[in-house]
Amino acid sequence: PIMAFMGVLLGLFAKVGADQGMFAYLGYETIEALDPEKGLPLLLRTVLPVGLMGIMMSAYFSAIMSTADSCLMASSGNVATDIIDRFIPISKNEKSFLRISQILTLVLGVFALILASAMENVLELMLYSYAFMVSGLLIPIVGAFYWKKSSSAGAFWVMLFGGGTTLTLIAIKTELPLGLDPNIFGMTLSLIVFIAVSLLFPGKEKG
């Protein structure tokens, strides 16, 4: 609750600063000329006194770190449990499972740093991840709740084809028919693949 409140408060500070033209004081004629990732830190540095600025910046970066470590732990746990443990039963030995999870956290963290350094900004990377989740996860989640014939095989291939299609269309930056968003094509393919694979490789019957 505290971090949510701080996030809303910091967002309001940034909005007020933009509306009042405070960024012009920093040398930016318009807010469009400012890197979105630098807006809030620059505003805090300019408006707040040193002591309060330190507290607000600590809250700002703690929110970022809290999200980052949660994502790292979740991803390493998923890889260890859903992939490695299926082929090598590491979960039977608690120490081995913990050690492998720690190694995976380090490897995935390094990979994330390399990937982030190759992007122009973090917001672009976030948009890619959201696009993948919408195209690759929406159809399987809805299908799991409302379609009795849905299967795990269908969900797996949807994540590959649906999410992969959307990311590919975004990456190649080609002009799409009717100016539609790449997610539309990814979700359409997701629906087709999910139905086809689930019918070909049915899962356990649901009660």
Q: pLDDT per residue over 73-99, tens digit each?
A: 888 888 888 888 888 888 888 888 888
Check pLDDT > 80 for residue 151. Answer: yes
What CA–CA distance (Å, rounded) separates 37 from 57?
13
Check pLDDT > 60 for residue 23. Answer: no
What CA–CA distance (Å, rounded) separates 15 from 200?
52
Q: Exposure string (b/e) for 13-35, b if CB count within 10 Å is 16 or more?
A: bbeebeeeebbeeeebeebeebe
Check pLDDT > 70 for residue 38. Answer: no
**CB neighbours of residue 136 within 10 Å:** 25
Average pLDDT estimate for 140-150: 86
150: left (phi over 0), alpha (psi -120 to 50) or beta: beta
Check pLDDT > 70 for residue 59. Answer: yes
Q: pLDDT per residue over 170-201, tens digit each?
A: 878 778 777 778 888 888 889 999 999 988 88
**CB neighbours of residue 135 within 10 Å:** 28
pLDDT at 181: 80
Token pair in block for residue 193: 């693949």
Stretch among 1-15, 31-45, 129-143, 181-195 having the lowest mean pLDDT: 1-15
pLDDT at 192: 92
User: Domain locations in the chain?
Assistant: 121-207
162 in Cβ contact with 186 (< 8 Å): yes
Check pLDDT > 80 for residue 21. Answer: no
Handedness of CA 97, 157, 129, 5 (dihedral sign): negative
- Of the pLDDT bands very low, low, confident and very high (cuts 50, 70, 90), residue 62 is confident
Average pLDDT estimate for 102-120: 84
| First-residue to last-residue Cα distance in the chain | 38
- This prediction's pTM: 0.55
What CA–CA distance (Å, rounded) separates 6 from 16?
15
pLDDT above 90 covers a percentage of the chain that reads 3
Check pLDDT > 80 for residue 147. Answer: yes
| Average pLDDT across the chain, whole number | 76
Average pLDDT estimate for 123-128: 71
Stretch among 78-87, 139-148, 159-168, 169-178 having the lowest mean pLDDT: 169-178
Residue type, 153: A
